[in-house]
Amino acid sequence: MSDGRTNCTNVMVVGIGGQGVMTAAEALAQAALAAGHDAKKTEVAGMAQRGGVVASHVRFGRRVLSPAIPAGETDLLLAFEPAEGLRWCGQLRPGGLAIVNTRPVVPPVVSAGIHAYPEDPIAQIRAVVARLHAIDAVAIAEGLGNGRLANSVMLGAFAPHLPFDPGLLAAAMAERFRHRRPDLADLNAAAFQAGREAVAELGADAA
């Protein structure tokens, strides 16, 4: 899924600090490199500490000159938090795909009364995005025994829509777990597969 001008696939990964947004972006870039693409990524907004807003651009293709996605040219949006999906869905190109975790995480700016949380962010996204997959990745991960693996569920849901073998993304995540949390390696693989199955049940383009 690349644009005709740059031969790049443009992916945004967004969420709240502590949800594994940067880990997911790094795994995606590694998988793209393993597939033979040039790849670049950057953190473009917020701060990665727990509770802060985090967004990352990942671009890959034959040749990538800049890590920044031009406005309105995002092919794939992976949102770990629904309000952040709503915040960034306007960056999708026409026909772009959003995959959004439905479980809200209320950031400090909301709990402090500085900003209000959207009443129904999924409905608002659906009103403007033609292709949306909405899944409760936390519930799926909790069903496997560890809710913190929601990011692996989300990447599994995302993987079939990438223009390379989904197994490369699974392998990139598995490698990270082997080095950092080998005790969770098998559960991570199960979470990744569960995400793939959850999106397959939704159909090709329906939420």
pLDDT in tens, 28-42: 999 999 999 999 999
How confident is the model at residue 11, as a pLDDT? 98
Which residue stretches of the chain have pLDDT < 50? Answer: 2-5, 48, 204-207
Output the six-digit token pair for 64.
């990538």
Looking at residue 205, its pLDDT comes to 44
pLDDT for 108? 72
| pTM for the predicted model, two decimal places | 0.89
Looking at residue 171, its pLDDT comes to 94
Q: Cα–Cα distance between 104 and 59 in angstroms, integer? A: 27
Nearest CA-CA partner of 160 in 169, 151, 150, 152: 169
Distances (CA, A) of 41 to 24, 29, 160: 11, 7, 20
Calpha distance 83→106 (Å, rounded): 9
Q: In the prediction, which pLDDT does 98 show?
A: 97
46-89 pLDDT per residue, tens: 554 556 788 999 999 999 999 999 999 999 999 999 999 999 99
Domains of the chain in start order, with CATH, are 9-201 (3.40.920.10)
Return the ∠ at Cα 104 (arms to 76 and 73), rounded to 5°. 20
Return the closest-CA partner of residue 10 out of 70, 100, 75: 75
